[in-house]
Amino acid sequence: MLNKSELEDVIRGCRKGDRYAQNRLYRAFHAWASAICQRYTNDTEATRECVQDGFFKVFTKIDKYGGDLSFEAWLKKIMINTCIDRYRAKLNEKTTVELTAAHDELVLAESLINADAEYLLGLVQRLSPAYQATFNLYAIEGYEYQEIAEMLGVSIGSVKSNLSKARFRLKEMLTNQHLETAYGK
């Protein structure tokens, strides 16, 4: 990462279209941006596309960065919105969205305590795009139902349903993993 002074210099350079400054900014934040986008995508190629699209937006909209948010917060918001835009585009390609209720968060919570972050990320990436986006926005990013509904262009009921189904599916995957480990399957 860059210190505050270096970051300010790099941002000034990016505003002037300086390729060297853009390269420094990209290199400084690429891994961090990739980690954010990876939570919203199902594969390495999709993550790479979101990161590239996100940085394109950063470089073309850097004049709109006013300093009211930290640069990291501004960049994170762009990366998340880029992933959501990708999700919406994929959603428009599909004709149906699964919407049913589910419950039993206690087993999920207990399983999550015993699982490592990389493994959990892999499970989240196996969720459908609707469940994955909803779960990430709520559980990882901390958005409220109304905010998620607005971001994804769905009803609050759909957000609640998708979140519930995502939790149920994660619990199911964790339970299956536990059974396979316990019984050597």
In a domain, residue 152? The reply is yes
- Are 75 and 140 within 8 A, CB to CB? no
Q: Total domain count for the chain?
A: 2
81 and 151 share one domain: no
171 and 129 share one domain: yes
In a domain, residue 25? The reply is yes
85 and 17 share one domain: yes
The enclosing domain of 55 has a CATH number of: 1.10.1740.10
In a domain, residue 100? The reply is no
pLDDT band (50, 70, 90) for residue 175: confident
109 and 30 share one domain: no
Q: Any idea what DSSP says for residue 63?
A: G
pLDDT tens-digit series, residues 66-108: 888 899 999 999 999 999 888 888 776 654 444 333 334 444 5
In this predicted structure, the answer to whether residue 116 has a pLDDT above a threshold of 70 is: no
Strongest mean pLDDT among 93-97, 117-121, 171-175 = 171-175
In a domain, residue 72? The reply is yes
pLDDT tens-digit series, residues 125-144: 888 888 999 998 998 888 99
pLDDT, residue 67, reads 80
120 and 43 share one domain: no
The last residue of a domain, from among 71, 93, 115: 93
80 and 8 share one domain: yes
The enclosing domain of 173 has a CATH number of: 1.10.10.10
The last residue of a domain, from among 73, 93, 113: 93
In a domain, residue 29? The reply is yes
Give the Cα separation of 13 and 33 in Å (integer). 20
58 and 134 share one domain: no
Report CA 34 to chain centroid distance, whole Å: 10
In a domain, residue 140? The reply is yes
Give the Cα separation of 38 and 143 in Å (integer). 18
The whole domain housing 75 covers 4-93
In a domain, residue 99? The reply is no
The last residue of a domain, from among 34, 68, 93: 93
Give the Cα separation of 54 and 77 in Å (integer). 10
pLDDT, residue 160, reads 93
81 and 130 share one domain: no
